[in-house]
């Protein structure tokens, strides 16, 4: 139970979110996103996700609620308000509160172990638990369980808290993203997996085949238990986009039973950033393509540089969004992608630390926009992976002002 004082804080914040969501600019942004995600001509789109920098933009000290559960809700509402009030981006604020179904799975058997940094925000090191090929026998296929009682209780609580202010919506599995290499390297160790590509390729293929089959089984369980929910809305997709589109759901849609063919999905293999296109294709992409095949629209990539791998990436069925990381060659990516799918460009987050130069940022963004225009690309720029802004939150505001002036000159 949320204390009365905290409840009032949350309801007041929800009213402000509702006011923002009703602004004409939000309807216009959704219209533009639907065109953009359907590869129809419109200006480049801008999204901002501060991620690690949120601790500086919206620190715990800015929260009012006392109850810990209430503070988590408060932060969610305040970050939406902050986004609208500070960023000149195309982030959409919706008048809704989403309650996720209480879905759990039994896991893959062995759990990842790590050696953590003494720094609160430092890196961690792999501590492998799969040391020999016979250790693969420890892997298990996950079993999915839906706790319907917990779902009903969570939905009822949200309706009681926000009823009459926000649209409380129940959602099942809506973010579909496959991370096979992330999962396996957390168990085997990244360096060792790279050695396995050369020294033990059959062993690695056995592991990847198991993980592929396990994910196929997860998808089947979601279908059988009717746990999928549509994601043609503000649902986070791939490595930063959203799902607004009029192309989904697919023909023959039953509102009471969402199918993979009604949904977006994505995959990535950041761990293979330094391997050859051939190895990336052999040990990851071929498995990922089969997992993505049942879905209607697909995205690929995250922070890995895919410049030399785009010929392979473009063979993914119904590919719609490709991530071009800060380390990718923008002009080459633009030439390869053209108008075939969304050029999801990730500007370098380092521009928000050290010497902050709006002029440098302007030239950097203009270069990407010009390259995209030359090749007819459908461009989105997504500022993310920022772990600090050195306690200068106004840098995000200025970055978005610079980007806005470029995509909407005059």
Q: How many domains does the chain have?
A: 1
Cα 213 to Cα 369: distance, rounded to the nearest angstrom: 40
Q: What is the DSSP letter of 239?
A: T
Cα 48 to Cα 50: distance, rounded to the nearest angstrom: 6
Residue 319's Cβ-count burial label (10 Å; 0-12, 13-18, 19+) is buried
Task: Kindly report, residue by residue over 73-92, the tens digit of the pLDDT.
Answer: 999 999 999 999 999 999 99
Which domain range does residue 376 map to?
A: 4-407
* Contact criterion met (CB below 8 Å) for 43 and 377: no
Q: What integer pLDDT is reported at residue 254 of this predicted model?
A: 97
Task: Kindly report, residue by residue over 18-77, the tens digit of the pLDDT.
Answer: 999 999 999 999 999 999 999 998 999 999 999 999 999 999 999 999 999 999 999 999
Per-residue pLDDT band for 274 (boundaries 50, 70, 90) equals very high
CA distances from residue 174 to 34, 142, 183, 234 in whole angstroms, order as listed: 18, 18, 20, 11
In sequence order, the 6+-apart residues with CB closer than 8 A to the CB of 241 are: 37, 47, 299, 321, 342, 344, 380, 382
Q: What integer pLDDT is reported at residue 1 of this predicted model?
A: 85
Q: Which CATH number do you get for residue 180? A: 3.20.20.210
| Predicted confidence (pLDDT) at residue 347 exceeds the cutoff of 90 | yes
| Predicted confidence (pLDDT) at residue 410 exceeds the cutoff of 70 | no
CA dihedral 232, 80, 94, 87 (to 10 degrees): -80
């Amino acid at each position: 139970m949320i204390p009365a004082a905290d409840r009032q804080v949350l309801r007041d914040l929800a009213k402000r979110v509702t006011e923002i969501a009703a602004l004409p600019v939000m309807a216009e942004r959704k219209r533009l996103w639907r065109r953009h995600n359907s590869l129809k001509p419109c200006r480049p789109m801008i999204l901002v996700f501060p991620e690690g920098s949120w601790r500086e933009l919206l620190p715990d000290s800015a929260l009012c609620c006392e109850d810990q559960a209430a503070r988590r809700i408060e932060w969610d509402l305040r970050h939406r308000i902050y986004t609208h009030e500070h960023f000149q981006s195309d982030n959409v604020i919706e008048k809704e509160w989403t309650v996720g179904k209480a879905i759990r799975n039994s896991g893959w058997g062995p759990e990842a172990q790590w050696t953590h940094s003494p720094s609160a925000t430092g890196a961690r090191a792999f501590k492998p638990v799969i040391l020999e090929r016979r250790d693969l026998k420890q892997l298990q296929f996950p079993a999915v369980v839906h706790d319907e009682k917990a779902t009903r209780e969570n939905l009822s609580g949200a309706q009681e808290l926000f009823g009459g202010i926000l649209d409380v919506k129940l959602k099942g599995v809506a973010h579909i993203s496959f991370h096979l290499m992330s999962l396996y390297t957390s168990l085997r160790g990244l360096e060792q997996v790279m050695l396995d590509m050369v020294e033990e390729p059959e062993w690695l293929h056995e592991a990847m085949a198991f993980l592929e089959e396990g994910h196929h089984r997860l998808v089947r369980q979601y279908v059988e238990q009717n746990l999928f929910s549509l994601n043609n809305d503000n649902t986070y997709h791939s490595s930063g986009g959203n799902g607004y589109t009029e192309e989904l759901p697919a023909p023959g849609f039953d509102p009471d039973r969402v199918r993979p063919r009604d949904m977006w999905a994505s995959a990535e293999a950041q761990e293979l950033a330094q391997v050859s296109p051939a190895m990336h294709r052999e040990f990851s992409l071929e498995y990922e393509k089969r997992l993505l095949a049942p879905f209607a629209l697909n995205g690929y990539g995250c922070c890995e540089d895919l410049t030399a791998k785009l010929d392979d990436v473009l063979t993914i069925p119904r590919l719609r969004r490709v991530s071009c990381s800060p380390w990718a060659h923008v002009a080459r990516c633009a030439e390869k992608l053209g108008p075939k799918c969304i050029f999801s460009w990730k500007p370098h987050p380092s521009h928000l630390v050290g010497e902050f130069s709006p002029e440098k940022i302007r030239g950097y963004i203009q270069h990407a926009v010009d390259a995209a225009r030359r090749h007819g690309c459908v461009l989105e720029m997504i500022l993310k992976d920022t772990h600090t802004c050195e306690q200068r939150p106004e840098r995000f505001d200025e970055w978005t002002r610079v980007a806005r002036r470029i995509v909407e000159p005059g």
